[in-house]
Amino acid sequence: MEVKKFMVIGAGQMGSGIAQVAAQAGLNVVLHDVKEEFVNRGLGVITKNLTRDVEKGRKSEEEKQAILDRIVLSTDINNAKDVDFVVEAVVENMDVKTAIFKQLDEITPTHAILASNTSSLPITEIAAVTNRPEKVIGMHFMNPVPVMKLIEVIRGLATSDETYRIVAELSEKMSKVAVEVNDFPGFVSNRVLMPMINEAIYCVYEGVATPEAIDEVMKLGMNHPMGPLTLADFIGLDTCLYIMEVLHEGFGDSKYRPCPLLRKYVKAGWLGRKSGRGFYVYE
């Protein structure tokens, strides 16, 4: 199957990035969200990214316009009726995701592949609400999507070899590297990353060091491009907490217990960059 029409559900930071790389790869893209203001904001982010590329000489004005012309905005889920491929990139919540997959299963053509950009939730469970579990797969893009090369591709219990092959080819077309991972809580990326972030938060909680000191140790001592607490703020502390809870529940191991300070910050509405305050204060 050749993928020509590509839909993204969710026009936030991840969804708009996925739409951008798909349009850059020459696909006709439908960028969908529940409100017009959300899709317009998503398109604004894409336009800003492409404008920066033009200013830096990485793209011409004509190339920028051609990419934008391949993106159509949608607030009606029924626009999925003639797509070949859908990537869902909404909030990291199983009930929300399964509700969307049930809808997509009814609306999309039978040949369409349904992918989730989930960063931690089981693909097998998402696939089980559809009548096409063999065509359901995880495509976990990294943030920021236009820059990061990796796509963690997660096979559910029923995902077919053909579905994986199409996703791997599509990833390459988007100038990404597909890495195959099996369906375990947190996959590889967040199973390794989130406990490190959680441990850094414990260091703040227990008074081992300040956030600045912890980040400096990891940057200068471990050659990380940014410290774990800066990264946590960038990801969103609510997302970090949710993934730690998925790991804790999925493995039943106390080493994945979310730090009480992480819970406290989330309850306070200190979610990081997006709320203006997390471990650091943002203007």
Find out whether 21 and 176 touch, Cβ atoms under 8 Å. yes
Closest CA to 73 of 16, 13, 155: 16
Report the C-alpha gap between 76 and 81 in whole angstroms: 10
Q: According to the model, what pLDDT value does residue 42 have? A: 98
Name the percent of the chain lying above pLDDT 90: 98
Q: Is residue 129 part of a domain?
A: yes
Please tell me the total count of domains within the chain: 2
Per the annotation, does 254 bind a ligand? no
Task: Give 45-100 pLDDT, tens digit per residue.
Answer: 999 999 999 999 999 999 999 999 999 999 999 999 999 999 999 999 999 999 99
Clarify whether residues 46 and 158 are in a common domain. yes
Mark which of 162, 182, 202 sits at the end of a domain: 182
Q: Please state at what angle helix 36-55 crosses helix 61-69, rounded to 10 degrees.
A: 160
Q: Which domain does 17 fall in, by range?
A: 5-182
Catalytic machinery residues: 119, 140, 152, 190
Find out whether 160 and 167 touch, Cβ atoms under 8 Å. no
Average pLDDT for residues 100-115, to the nearest whole number? 98
**163: three-class secondary structure by DSSP:** helix
Per the annotation, does 66 bind a ligand? no
Mark which of 161, 182, 203 sits at the end of a domain: 182
Per the annotation, does 17 bind a ligand? no
Clarify whether residues 24 and 123 are in a common domain. yes
Q: Is residue 107 part of a domain?
A: yes
Q: In CATH, what number is assigned to the domain containing residue 147?
A: 3.40.50.720
Clarify whether residues 170 and 122 are in a common domain. yes
Phi-psi region of 86 (alpha: psi -120 to 50; beta: other; left: phi over 0): beta
**pLDDT tier at 283, thresholds 50, 70, 90:** confident
Per the annotation, does 14 bind a ligand? yes
Q: According to the model, what pLDDT value does residue 120 have? A: 92
Helix (H) or strand (E) holding 22: helix 13-24
Q: Which residues contact 193 (CB under 8 A, 6 or more apart)?
A: none
**19: three-class secondary structure by DSSP:** helix
Look at residue 278 and tell me whether its pLDDT is greater than 90. yes
Mark which of 149, 182, 215 sits at the end of a domain: 182
Q: According to the model, what pLDDT value does residue 115 have? A: 98
Per the annotation, does 55 bind a ligand? no
Task: Give 129-139 pLDDT, tens digit per residue.
Answer: 999 999 999 99
Q: According to the model, what pLDDT value does residue 106 have? A: 98
Q: According to the model, what pLDDT value does residue 264 have? A: 98
Per the annotation, does 143 bind a ligand? yes
What's this model's pTM, rounded to 2 decimal places? Answer: 0.91
Q: According to the model, what pLDDT value does residue 282 have? A: 97
Task: Give 162-184 pLDDT, tens digit per residue.
Answer: 999 999 999 999 999 999 999 99
Clarify whether residues 207 and 71 are in a common domain. no
Per the annotation, does 199 bind a ligand? no
Q: In CATH, what number is assigned to the domain containing residue 205?
A: 1.10.1040.10
**How high does pLDDT run on average in the chain?**
97
Q: Which residues contact 57 (CB under 8 A, 6 or more apart)?
A: none
Per the annotation, does 15 bind a ligand? yes
Q: Is residue 283 part of a domain?
A: no
Look at residue 270 and tell me whether its pLDDT is greater than 90. yes
Q: According to the model, what pLDDT value does residue 105 have? A: 98
